[in-house]
């Protein structure tokens, strides 16, 4: 994925975006295993050669879709945090952001399909690691952590625990045999996070 040819001209960038958008639509409406580079090209209205001009194979296109989707999800969480962090109690912030994360990962069919299709690739792991690091850096700027005297490094460590807990439990919930078990685990997640933060921030 990192070696993908990057289009330099506006027309080429538009064509790449058409390929990504068409693949995104296909992956939303059909099982990924049934998607081929030919079906991607047909949906995008471009020759098959155009797909291979910018992507190594179908998985490479799917990774581009996944990267776009993960960036959008990160943006949604950042916007929610920005909306409530200036006036809400930290306990409410934790609940709101974690519940939003759960909704994104549990209800987004496209994300679930991409996760199943790409989880074996190192690129998927790297993409999620970048997302985690970005979220850690973003949430570590929470003013209350600075007010309580935590250094930037300490704030990042605290936030990394929370981000790791959130993503790990969300993945674990998807692997449970019943929806009831998954829902129970996800309901407990904010409580665990709040209990951890209470030892640091108090009430």
145 and 183 assigned to the same domain? yes
- Considering Cα of 68, then 74, then 79, then 80, what sign does the dihedral take? positive
Buried b (16+ CB within 10 A) or exposed e, 127-142: bbeebbeebbebbbeb
70 shares a domain with 54: no
This prediction has a pTM of 0.87
- pLDDT tens sequence across 118-129: 999 999 999 999
The predicted pLDDT at position 102 comes to: 87
Round to whole Å and give the CA distance between 42 and 27: 14
Asked if residue 160 has pLDDT above 90, the reply is yes
The Cα–Cα gap between 70 and 144 comes to 27
pLDDT recorded at residue 4: 65
CATH of the domain at 83: 1.10.357
Asked whether residue 1 is domain-assigned, the answer is no
- Number of domain units in the chain: 2
Amino acid 164: pLDDT: 92
pLDDT of residue 174: 83
Residues 177 and 103 in one domain: yes
In the chain, the percentage of residues whose pLDDT exceeds 70 is: 96
Output the pLDDT for position 29. Answer: 92
95 shares a domain with 125? yes
* pLDDT at 8 (0 to 100): 64
Q: Same domain for 53 and 70? A: no
Write down the residue that tokens 């949604």 correspond to. 76
Residue 144, in any domain of the structure: yes
Residue 1 clears pLDDT 60, i.e. is over it: no
Same structural domain, 44 and 81: no
Indicate if 51 and 76 belong to the same structural domain: no
Residues near 19 by beta carbon (within 8 Å), at least 6 away in sequence: 40, 41, 44, 46, 50, 51, 54, 55, 61
Check whether residue 85 and residue 41 sit in a common domain. no
Domain membership of residue 4 (yes or no) is: no
Say whether both 44 and 114 belong to one domain.
no
pLDDT of residue 5: 66
Establish if 5 belongs to a structural domain: no
| CATH, residue 53 | 1.10.10.60
Domain encompassing residue 71:
66-201
5-60 per-position pLDDT tens digit: 676 678 888 999 999 999 999 999 989 999 999 999 999 999 999 999 999 999 99
Select from 30, 31, 43, 39 the least CA-distant residue to 58: 39
Same domain membership, residue 155 and residue 190 = yes
Read off the pLDDT of each residue in 83-101 and give the average, rounded to a whole number: 94
């Amino acid at each position: 994925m990192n070696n993908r040819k990057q289009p330099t001209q506006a027309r080429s960038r538009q064509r790449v975006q058409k390929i990504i958008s068409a693949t995104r639509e296909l992956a939303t409406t059909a099982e990924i295993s049934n998607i081929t580079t030919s079906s991607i090209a047909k949906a995008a209205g471009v020759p098959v050669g155009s797909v291979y001009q910018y992507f190594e194979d179908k998985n490479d296109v799917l990774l581009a879709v996944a990267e776009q989707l993960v960036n959008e999800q990160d943006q949604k969480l950042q916007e929610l945090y920005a909306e409530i962090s200036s006036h809400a109690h930290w306990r409410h912030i934790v609940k709101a952001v974690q519940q939003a994360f759960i909704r994104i990962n549990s209800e987004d069919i496209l994300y679930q399909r991409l996760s199943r299709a790409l989880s074996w690739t190192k690129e998927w792991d790297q993409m999620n690691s970048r997302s985690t690091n970005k979220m850690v850096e973003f949430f570590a700027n929470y003013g209350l952590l600075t007010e309580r005297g935590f250094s930037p490094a300490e704030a990042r460590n605290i936030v990394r625990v929370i981000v790791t807990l959130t993503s790990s439990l969300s993945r674990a919930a998807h692997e449970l045999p019943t929806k009831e078990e998954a829902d129970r685990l996800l309901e407990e997640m904010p409580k665990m996070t709040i209990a951890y933060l209470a030892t640091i921030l108090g009430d």
